[in-house]
């Protein structure tokens, strides 16, 4: 699967709309709502059956996805600020939260649903330079080095990743209400 060449064109998301996608436990897309199809630029047929990494922007450090997958594979929630890549090479920033679906008999994860909303500019302005630094570290020292840097970054600030993101996006307010409502709708 060849990714499009990124271009410097931001797609501004409608703050009143949301993106929803569902994947199997390995990240293969099983469902995408109409807004996901519209914003990504892919047809529904092009998305279904493909790895969710089809929208991964090269400006995103691998360590961020490692951290997300480590958490969601343990059925733990994580909220992240993510820069995604559309089919035409444009990009869009989202706040994403995950909801695992657990098989009640085997107690294993059978799917992940991701809920995404437009990222506040403050979150983008804060995370973009952090991601740039992580990419440089990954290029020179690998993902392990960027993971150590990220851990040190939060230790120095005396804050957890989750609390940092919550403060950044104001998760105590509208985003929390949004993600809670989306989980109820799609449960």
* Within-domain flag for 11: no
pLDDT at 87 over 60: yes
* Within-domain flag for 7: no
Quote the distance between the C-alpha of residue 184 and its chain's center: 20
What single string gives the DSSP state of each residue in 45-61? HHHTTSBGGGGB-TTS-
**pLDDT class for 46, splitting at 50, 70, 90?**
very high
pLDDT at 103 over 60: yes
Q: What is the mean pLDDT of residues 65-92?
A: 94
* Domain containing residue 110: CATH number: 3.30.450.20
* Within-domain flag for 82: yes
Parallel, antiparallel, or unpaired: how do β-strands 109-118 and 19-23 relate?
A: antiparallel
Parallel, antiparallel, or unpaired: how do β-strands 91-102 and 79-85 relate?
A: antiparallel
Query: Which structural domain, as residue segments, surrounds residue 30?
Result: 19-182
* Within-domain flag for 54: yes
Q: What is the average pLDDT score of the chain? A: 91
In percent, the amount of the chain with pLDDT more than 90 equals 81
Quick check: 183 and 112 in contact, CB under 8 A? Answer: no
Q: What is the mean pLDDT of residues 155-178?
A: 80
* Within-domain flag for 61: yes
* Within-domain flag for 3: no
* Within-domain flag for 24: yes
Quick check: 85 and 8 in contact, CB under 8 A? Answer: no
* Within-domain flag for 42: yes
Number of domains in the chain: 1
Report helix, strand or coil for 91: strand
């Amino acid at each position: 699967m060849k990714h499009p060449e990124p271009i410097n064109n931001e797609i501004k998301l409608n703050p009143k709309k949301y993106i929803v996608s569902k994947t199997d436990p390995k990240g293969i897309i099983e469902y995408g709502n109409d807004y996901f199809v519209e914003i990504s630029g892919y047809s529904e047929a092009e998305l279904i059956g493909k790895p969710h990494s089809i929208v991964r922007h090269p400006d995103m450090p691998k360590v961020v996805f490692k951290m997300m997958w480590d958490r969601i594979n343990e059925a733990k929630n994580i909220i992240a600020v993510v820069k995604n890549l559309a089919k035409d090479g444009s990009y869009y920033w989202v706040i994403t939260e995950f909801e695992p679906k657990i098989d009640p008999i085997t107690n294993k994860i059978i799917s992940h649903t991701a809920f995404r909303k437009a990222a506040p500019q403050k979150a983008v302005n804060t995370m973009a330079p952090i991601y740039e630094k992580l990419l440089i570290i990954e290029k020179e020292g690998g993902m392990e080095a960027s993971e150590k840097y990220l851990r040190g970054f939060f230790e120095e600030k005396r804050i957890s990743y989750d609390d940092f993101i919550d403060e950044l996006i104001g998760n105590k307010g509208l985003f929390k209400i949004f993600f809670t409502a989306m989980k109820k709708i799609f449960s």
